[in-house]
């Protein structure tokens, strides 16, 4: 592995000679370059949302067809993170970053020129591969920055994980109205091109982090597992958990995971070794991510959205006012809270930051559930989640996924943890939907308390996450 340090001039050194890795990047330049890369994913995710109605009208598609525009995008993200994160161990980080941007660019061009909705959906799937930019960027930051700067840098990148202060979605709506939804893809393509040029010029070529070959059999089986799990959750929520389709998908998902474990035990360079999955360094991080996303995401992006727009048993706000009051504040606060949390990790430790974020996110969830009939109390609770969830939790869990990843597979845990975000978010919405969907005070309260219970479980699991090497246990 590369041993990073920072020179007195502020340049980040890597232990490589220029012939091996090229010019050594300045910390600020490296962070800015990677930020451009992750923005290419985030804008793809958020700016397209307000354009969905126009996309449906343009292609004459129903709601189910339009939903595929987003669901395929996020499904590709869940699959690509673990695979490309691990592949980067063998081909180098810069090549992996450029590969992701190239795939996304092909998908963006396809979306821009697509004559039919199915082709646009294929393009969105290819665009979704850009989700791997987050995991790859966190790994690059770890390899080229010292410990103190690493925390702040992770916070800066985590700050855009939930959107650009809430303004990206608004900008997407304005562009759609003025120039059509295709204009969004033009902007994304231009940003991807700029990011690629900057990566070529700034990110050192580097060397492979480990020896061996990519485990494509493991990658294929993990992909089948993730697809099966995603569709099981979706089908179970709509057709019933005991329906034939749901049970068939559950069986396929279990079979894929069993096969994945069997294959990994026999590979010399597995995607991630089975004994690593049993390690506290790995399973606790994954479980904390899944449970926290299931609890908090369902509150912020589902239950409270329905509650705020319910004219009879909720707050009776319009869709735009609901977004302005209950979505924008947390996103805006997170832009400032995440870098602050990253800065604090060098002083309080990653584990303390994680536990503070998870514990106070739980407190916010309890506050929302206790005062679900009070618009201002719910608003305060959701806004505070901008600090403790968008800021502290997201920064700490992303940093820990890099610091606790196995030494023989440094790209494995960041990629798998990235996939866990989508799994947790989907699971949380599915669990609370039957209750929040009732549109009654008791239904909203039940949905919020279910989220509280899930978040409480996340906090308990977070207590088991071990401290990274060199950090004293709290």
Are 103 and 176 found together in one domain? yes
Structural Rg of the chain based on CA atoms? 21
Are 194 and 311 found together in one domain? no
φ/ψ (deg, to 5) at 116: -135, 160
pLDDT per residue as tens digits for the range 81-110:
889 989 999 999 999 999 999 999 999 999
Are 179 and 232 found together in one domain? no
Answer yes or no: is 472 within a domain.
no
pLDDT per residue as tens digits for the range 426-437:
888 888 888 888
| Residue at which a domain ends, from 157, 176, 202 | 202
pLDDT for the residue 162: 61
Answer yes or no: is 208 within a domain.
no
pLDDT per residue as tens digits for the range 249-269:
999 999 999 999 999 998 888
- Token pair for 132: 């791997």
Are 53 and 124 found together in one domain? yes
What pTM, to 2 d.p., does this model score? Answer: 0.83
- pLDDT-wise least confident of 19-33, 213-227, 330-344, 354-368: 19-33
pLDDT per residue as tens digits for the range 276-319:
888 999 999 999 999 999 999 889 888 888 888 888 888 888 76
d(CA 81, CA 153): 20
Please say whether the beta carbons of 188 and 130 come within 8 A: no
- 443/18: higher pLDDT: 443
Answer yes or no: is 35 within a domain.
yes
Are 152 and 229 found together in one domain? no
Are 191 and 235 found together in one domain? no
Domain that holds residue 442: 272-462
Task: Look at residue 207 and tell me whether its pLDDT is greater than 50.
Answer: yes
Answer yes or no: is 7 within a domain.
no
d(CA 466, CA 463): 8
- Token pair for 171: 């900008």
Alpha helices by DSSP H, listed for 240-326, are 244-264, 274-277, 280-292, 298, 304-309, 319-326
Answer yes or no: is 223 within a domain.
yes
Residue 171 belongs to a domain with what CATH number? 1.20.1250.20
Domain count, the chain: 3
282 by Cβ neighbours in 10 Å (0-12 / 13-18 / 19+) ranks as buried
Residue with tokens 């610091």: 403
pLDDT for the residue 109: 95
Please report the beta strands in 8-117, taking only residues with DSSP state E, as ranges in sequence order: 12-13
Are 432 and 369 found together in one domain? yes
Are 417 and 388 found together in one domain? yes
Are 306 and 349 found together in one domain? yes
Would you list the DSSP string of 170-212? HHHHHHHHHH-THHHHHHHHHHHHHHHHHHHHHS-----SS-S
d(CA 247, CA 230): 13
Answer yes or no: is 467 within a domain.
no
Q: What is the mean pLDDT of the chain?
A: 86
- The region that residue 212 occupies, defined by phi over 0 for left and psi between -120 and 50 for alpha, beta otherwise, is left
Please say whether the beta carbons of 241 and 269 come within 8 A: no
Contacts for 297 with CB less than 8 Å, ≥ 6 apart? 424, 425, 428, 429
Contacts for 207 with CB less than 8 Å, ≥ 6 apart? 2, 16, 20, 21, 92
Answer yes or no: is 474 within a domain.
no
| Residue at which a domain ends, from 165, 180, 202 | 202
Are 255 and 332 found together in one domain? no
Answer yes or no: is 177 within a domain.
yes
3-state percent breakdown (helix, strand, coil) of the chain, nearest 5: 75, 0, 20
Are 300 and 416 found together in one domain? yes
Are 52 and 197 found together in one domain? yes
């Amino acid at each position: 592995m590369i041993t990073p340090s920072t020179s007195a001039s502020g340049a980040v050194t890597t232990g490589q000679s220029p012939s091996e890795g090229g010019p050594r990047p300045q910390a600020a330049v490296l962070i800015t370059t990677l930020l451009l890369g992750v923005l290419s994913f985030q804008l793809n995710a958020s700016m397209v949302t307000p354009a969905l109605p126009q996309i449906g009208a343009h292609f004459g598609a129903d709601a189910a067809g339009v939903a595929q525009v987003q669901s395929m995008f996020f499904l590709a993200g869940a699959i690509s993170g673990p695979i490309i994160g691990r592949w980067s161990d063998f081909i180098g980080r810069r090549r992996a970053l450029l590969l992701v941007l190239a795939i996304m660019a092909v998908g963006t061009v396809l979306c821009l020129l697509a004559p039919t909705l199915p082709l646009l959906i294929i393009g969105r799937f290819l665009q979704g591969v850009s989700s791997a930019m987050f995991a790859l960027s966190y790994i690059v930051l770890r390899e080229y920055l010292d410990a103190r700067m690493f925390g702040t840098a992770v916070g800066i990148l985590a700050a855009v994980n939930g959107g650009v202060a809430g303004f990206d979605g608004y900008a997407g709506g304005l562009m759609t109205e003025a120039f059509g939804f295709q204009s969004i893809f033009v902007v994304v393509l231009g940003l991807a091109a700029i990011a690629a040029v900057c990566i070529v010029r700034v990110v050192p070529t580097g060397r492979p982090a480990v020896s061996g070959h990519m485990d494509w059999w493991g990658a294929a089986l993990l992909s089948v597992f993730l697809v099966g799990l995603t569709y099981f959750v979706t089908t179970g929520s709509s057709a019933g958990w005991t329906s034939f389709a749901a049970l068939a998908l559950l069986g396929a998902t279990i079979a894929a995971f069993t096969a994945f474990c069997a294959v990994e035990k026999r590979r010399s360079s597995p995607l991630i070794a089975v004994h690593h999955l049993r390690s506290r360094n790995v399973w606790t991080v994954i479980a904390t991510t899944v449970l926290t996303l299931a609890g908090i995401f369902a509150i912020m992006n589902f239950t409270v959205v329905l509650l705020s727009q319910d004219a009879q048993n909720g707050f009776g706000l319009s869709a735009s006012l609901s977004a302005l009051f209950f979505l924008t504040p947390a996103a805006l606060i997170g832009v400032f809270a995440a870098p602050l949390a990253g800065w604090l990790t060098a002083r309080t430790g990653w584990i303390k930051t994680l536990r503070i974020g998870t514990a106070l996110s739980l407190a916010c969830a309890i506050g929302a559930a206790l005062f679900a009939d009070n618009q201002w109390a719910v608003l305060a609770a959701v806004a505070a989640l901008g600090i403790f969830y968008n800021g502290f939790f997201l920064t700490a869990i992303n940093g820990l996924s890099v610091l606790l990843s196995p030494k023989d597979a440094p790209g494995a845990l960041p990629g798998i943890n990235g996939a866990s975000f989508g799994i947790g978010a989907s699971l949380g919405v599915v669990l609370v939907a039957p209750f929040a969907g009732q549109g009654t005070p008791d239904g909203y309260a039940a949905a919020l308390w279910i989220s509280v219970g899930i978040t409480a479980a996340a906090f308990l699991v977070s207590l088991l996450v071990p401290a990274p090497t060199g950090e004293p246990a709290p």
